[in-house]
Amino acid sequence: MICETNFRLGALGYSGNIMKDDSAAASIDPVGLTRALCEIESTTYHEGAVGDFLADFLAGRGWAVEKTPVEQPAESATDGARWNVYAGVAGETPDLVFSTHMDTVPPYIQFSEDAEFMYGRGVSDAKGIIAAQVAAAGILRGAGLRIGLLFVSGEERDSAGAKAANLSPKGSRFLINGEPTDNRVALASKGALRVSLKTSGKMAHSAYPELGESAVHKMVEVLDRLLKLKLPVDEFAGETTVNIGQIAGGHAPNVIADHAEAQVLIRLVCDSAPVRAAVLEAAAGLAEVAFTLDLKFVRLRAVEGLPTMIAKFATDIPQLTNWGVPLLLGPGSIHVAHTPFEKLAKKELLDAVELYVKVAKQLLG
């Protein structure tokens, strides 16, 4: 098996020392593990099967594995089981934990590959990252370092898995969270404020608008106000941005709409309080407002000698405060995540394994 894996890595142009440290890690082909993970559909709320697979895979390689249930929210269309998966060494407190998420955004896109790239939902966000972290953790464990792995559910929606995990930390000093950063260390990660808006009105025949009250017209006015808000700018991290992601309402073009809803996501570069106040002012007298997600903007540490970037996206890091000093690092480009064109270069994946090992050893000194 080791010879076969060495051959496959060599065929991909890999010349690192991934196979030298630990026999358990030596049998792990990160490309093959990514393929296996991506062939299991795990859009948010449907993480049960991929969690089961990972738990069995890690237990079979000598890790002590814990599966912790993560509750389904009211908005979920399923009551299926889903989990967080933690793997460590029995009786040992880890010094460093690798973590990322098992869920993906919809729709599911079947895995495919060629000589250079892997394609499909999750290859970069974040199942390739899982594979790289598993391989790196095996190498580090073989080198005598105290390492853990934490894979969570729900990051793409509400960080439910991270919130649950934060109630049962393992005492680690460092957390390396994985997201697509092009193998660069993130110096900051924007926060996220999700806003749910609802307007109500009175139905009438559209030929006689004076007899009704349009909820859609109210919503259009609120959304126009939101897009015109002057929101905070950070010299370091850039602008606060607003995305109107979903709009629904009304019954037909010839009916005055009696209801409308919209979902808005605001990327934060500051505390959410002034932004929340601005949203409430914009909606005053027109719409009901609910803030359904509030993830903090965070500044992160650099690692000497490694390239850096600013993550304009949000992560689970604000919900994993009890897992040690956080870093954000992973293979893949966020520019193709959440798109039909998601892909990850095989060489970049294998480079990430070596990079994770290097950073962990540097942190643990």
Residue 155 designated active-site: yes
Mean pLDDT taken over the chain: 93
Q: Are 198 and 181 in a shared domain?
A: no
Q: How far is CA 317 from CA 9, 111, 175, 189, in A?
A: 32, 28, 9, 9
Q: Are 175 and 238 in a shared domain?
A: no
Confidence (pLDDT) at 365:
87
Q: Which helix (H) or strand (E) holds 135?
A: helix 128-142
pTM of the model: 0.88
Confidence (pLDDT) at 240:
97
What would the pLDDT profile of 316-353 be if each residue is shown by its tens digit?
A: 999 999 999 999 999 999 999 999 999 999 999 999 99
Q: Are 303 and 181 in a shared domain?
A: yes
Q: 213 near 234, Cβ under 8 Å?
A: no
Q: Which domain holds residue 68?
A: 2-187+299-364
Summarize the confidence of residues 111-131 as an average pLDDT. 98
Q: Strand (E) positions, the chain?
A: 64-69, 83-88, 96-101, 112-113, 117-119, 147-152, 174-177, 185-189, 191-200, 233-234, 238-239, 241-249, 259-268, 288-295, 298-299, 308-311, 325-328, 343-345
User: What confidence tier does 54 reach under pLDDT thresholds 50, 70, 90?
Assistant: very high
Q: How many domains does the chain have?
A: 2
Q: How far is CA 141 from CA 87, 96, 350, in A?
A: 12, 11, 18
Q: Are 339 and 197 in a shared domain?
A: no
Q: Are 46 and 147 in a shared domain?
A: yes
Q: Are 280 and 341 in a shared domain?
A: no
In the Cβ-directed half-sphere of 185, how many Cα atoms lie within 13 Å?
A: 19
Q: What is the CATH number of the domain that holds 206?
A: 3.30.70.360
User: What confidence tier does 75 reach under pLDDT thresholds 50, 70, 90?
Assistant: confident
**Which of 254, 272, 295 is the endpoint of a domain?**
295
Confidence (pLDDT) at 7:
32
Q: Are 250 and 307 in a shared domain?
A: no
Confidence (pLDDT) at 77:
86
**Which of 241, 272, 295 is the endpoint of a domain?**
295
Cα Dmax for the chain = 79
Q: Are 213 and 181 in a shared domain?
A: no
As a whole-number percent, the residues of the chain with pLDDT over 90 amount to 91
For 53, other C-beta atoms within 10 Å of its C-beta total 18
Q: Are 200 and 348 in a shared domain?
A: no
Q: What is the CATH number of the domain that holds 158?
A: 3.40.630.10
Crossing angle (nearest 10°) for helices 30-38 and 346-364: 110
Catalytic residue among 47, 155, 179, 354: 155
Beta bridge partners, 263, equal 196, 246
Q: Are 289 and 303 in a shared domain?
A: no
Q: Are 87 and 165 in a shared domain?
A: yes
Q: Considering only CA atoms, which of 328, 331, 325, 362 is closest in space to residue 145?
A: 362
Which DSSP letter does residue 20 get? S
What would the pLDDT profile of 260-283 be if each residue is shown by its tens digit?
A: 999 999 999 999 999 999 999 999
As a whole-number percent, the residues of the chain with pLDDT over 70 amount to 93
User: What confidence tier does 145 reach under pLDDT thresholds 50, 70, 90?
Assistant: very high
Looking at per-residue confidence, does 339 or 7 come out higher?
A: 339
Summarize the confidence of residues 246-264 as an average pLDDT. 98
User: What confidence tier does 193 reach under pLDDT thresholds 50, 70, 90?
Assistant: very high
**Which of 280, 295, 310 is the endpoint of a domain?**
295
